Amino acid sequence: MRYLLLDRITEMQPGAYAVGTKCAAMSEDYFADHFPGFPVVPGVLIVEAMAQLAGRLITYSVAAAEGGEKVLPVLLTIQNARFRHFVRPGETMVIRAELTGLVDGAGRCKATAQVNDTVVATAELMLGFDTGSGAGVIPPQARATLAQWAEQVNRNLMGDTPVPGEAKA
């Protein structure tokens, strides 16, 4: 998948926060055009990386809170996105998502992206999932395929990162 924008999830604390990394390799195709002679990671892709991490955090948080089927979060809102510094090829972003709220059908996260000790971007994201009020509901015919795909992506991302409260498989 071209736009899987996390390389690894390194910390997962359901109900609290998650940390992941993304290395901006010179071979990323977008560097050719963004921008010629001045390659920088597009801000929207940093937000997408945050959203992907926030989605995993929400899935684990809902599972920890009440168990049952794993929810599939989809992005509903992006607020207060700020792009503070450029991210250049060869740099590694450490993305952190903090859960700030969980209600019926949605979770909210504050996210930051850092390169070394510099915060390069911050945003607040809301993701909906397939229970509750109707926003962000995944069509039933797509659910099984998506769930299977999400599970596989998740396994690759998580590696052997421990999840508190979860029995090791």
Partner 1 sequence: MPEVNSANAAEVLKIRETADRVLAQRHPEILLTVRGAIAEVLGREEAEVQPSSSLMNDLNAESLDFLDLLFRLESAFGIKIPRGGIQRATQGSLTEAEFQQNGVLTEAALERLRILMPEVDPGRLQTGLTAREIPTLFTPETFTRLVAWRIGELEAEKAAGS
Indicate left, alpha or beta for 59 from its phi (over 0: left) and psi (-120 to 50: alpha). Answer: alpha
Q: Which residues bind partner 1 (CB under 8 A)?
A: 65-66, 76-77, 100-106, 108, 126, 128, 132-136
For residue 85, indicate whether it is catalytic: no
Using CA atoms in the order 164, 110, 97, 2, what is the torsion angle rounded to 10 degrees?
Answer: 140
Question: Residue 41 CB, nearest distance to partner 1 (Å)?
Answer: 28
Q: Residue 15 or 42: which CB sits closer to partner 1? A: 15
User: Among 8, 30, 34, 94, which one carries the catalytic annotation?
Assistant: 34
Q: Residue 131 or 154: which CB sits closer to partner 1? A: 131
- Token code pair at residue 79: 């607020």
Token pair 């709220």: residue: 101
d(CA 55, CA 51): 6
Q: Residue 6 or 99: which CB sits closer to partner 1? A: 99
Token pair 């390169």: residue: 115
Q: Tell the burial category of 143 from Cβ atoms under 10 Å away from its Cβ (0-12, 13-18, 19+).
A: middle
Question: Residue 85 CB, nearest distance to partner 1 (Å)?
Answer: 28
Question: Residue 98 CB, nearest distance to partner 1 (Å)?
Answer: 13
Positions marked catalytic: 34
